[in-house]
A = this chain, B = another copy of it.
Amino acid sequence: MASSLKDVARYAGVSIKTVSNVVNGYVHVSAVTRAKVQQAIAALNYRPNTAARHLRQGRSGVIALALPELRAPYFAELAGFVVEAADERSLKVLIEQTDGARDRELEITEGVPGHLIDGLILSPLALTEDDLEQRTDRLPMILLGEQITDGAADRVVVDNVAAAEEAVAHLVSLGRRRIAAIGAQDAAPGATARLRLRGYRQALRRAGIAYDPSLVIPVEQFHRHDGALAMQGLLDLAQPPDAVFCFNDLLGLGALRTLLSHGLSVPGDVAVVGFDDIEESQYSTPTLTTVAPDKEEIARTAIDLLIKRFSGDHDALPRSVNPTYRLICRESTLGG
């Protein structure tokens, strides 16, 4: 059985409160008493009970991170950074997977965990602005990676339009003219896809290249499989593209796989750009050119915003932070 303040108090021959004072570093405790108590704590291997503390103080020291799925490397890497950043602030992270399903996301914003957590970092796929407006829960929440226009919560999100434009501009600068896009999504769960598509079109316009809808391939999910399939479709065209901008790295890696298995050369025949800079993209053959958001900065910023909410400015206006990103050019566009 775990020991409590009561046990320590009895063992040390002092009151419960005194032990509590020692544990919490209260100043006015005599050296003698402090020593006695500390010895008792060591002897009984006492550890404060988080549940009781939580009940008393209304703070659990736990936050939730809700993301579509851990098996997607981008989210896994991001989650790793979040856990790390949280750890530095003595916070624990509880993981929820939404599969990008709207009802799961909704459920989570409405505080499923029942007072279990102090705050929430949510990376939504399907949630709409309206869903958020109707939110009744007062739990501090940070949104990741969705450009839901000024809403009810803090947001940390890269400038998807600018980043996408930069990626496509890179392809243009290499002399590519028939540039495809893989990853379009019409349905509600597609804010990110729409923004990256906008960046793509903007880059084309600036380069004076006509927009060709047949080069924009929609996908169901942002997985390797969808990328491979989409690329297959592009190769079947009468006039295949000479470059592809994929809305994330997994799509890009899937596309790569299809290209190579058709004996095509990358970037010789087709150049490929991704988005996310997952670790895998540094080791694929060829390595993948990609837009790299600073994931560590994203994680750290999200945690900091949450902590700000905890302490005081509970009702400040929602903040929006754009983390830095950069285009990393690798073999899939520059060649080996």
Q: Chain A interface (Cβ within 8 Å of chain B)?
A: 1-2, 45, 47-52, 54-55, 60, 62, 69-71, 73, 76-77, 79-80, 83-84, 87, 92-97, 111, 113-116, 136, 138, 224, 228, 253-254, 256-257, 260-261, 279-280, 282-285, 336
Check B283 against A47 for contact (C-beta < 8 Å). no
**Separation in Å of the A65 CB from the closest CB of chain B?**
8
Partner of A49, one of B55, B138, B260: B55
Partner of A283, one of B70, B80, B224: B224
Question: What residues on B are CB-neighbors of A279 within 8 Å?
Answer: 71, 224
Check A97 against B80 for contact (C-beta < 8 Å). yes
Give the residue name and chain of the B residue nearest to A93 (CB): B95
Give the residue name and chain of the B residue nearest to A225 (CB): B283
Q: A76-B71, A260-B285 are in contact. Are A50 and B96 (CB under 8 A)?
A: no
Provide the bound-state CA to CA distance between A95 and B116, in Å: 15
Q: Can you add 20 more A-B contacts, CB < 8 Å, to A70-B70, A71-B279, A87-B97? A: A1-B138, A2-B115, A2-B138, A48-B115, A50-B114, A50-B115, A51-B51, A51-B116, A52-B55, A71-B76, A73-B76, A79-B95, A93-B94, A94-B94, A228-B283, A254-B283, A257-B283, A257-B284, A257-B285, A261-B285
Question: What residues on B are CB-neighbors of A62 within 8 Å?
Answer: 62, 94, 116
Provide the bound-state CA to CA distance between A30 and B52, in Å: 33
Question: What residues on B are CB-neighbors of A51 within 8 Å?
Answer: 51, 54-55, 60, 115-116
Question: What residues on B are CB-neighbors of A92 within 8 Å?
Answer: 94, 96, 113, 116
Closest 7 A-B residue pairs measured CB to CB?
Answer: A76-B76, A70-B80, A51-B54, A50-B116, A51-B55, A224-B283, A49-B115
Question: What residues on B are CB-neighbors of A283 within 8 Å?
Answer: 224, 228, 253-254, 257
Q: A55-B52, A55-B55 are in contact. Are A114 and B47 (CB under 8 A)?
A: yes
Check A83 against B95 for contact (C-beta < 8 Å). yes
Question: What residues on B are CB-neighbors of A111 within 8 Å?
Answer: 47
Check A84 against B113 for contact (C-beta < 8 Å). no
Provide the bound-state CA to CA distance between A52 and B80, in Å: 30
Provide the bound-state CA to CA distance between A254 and B280, in Å: 10
Question: What residues on B are CB-neighbors of A84 within 8 Å?
Answer: 97
The winner among A69, A111, A284 for most chain B CB atoms within 10 A is A284
Provide the bound-state CA to CA distance between A257 and B281, in Å: 11
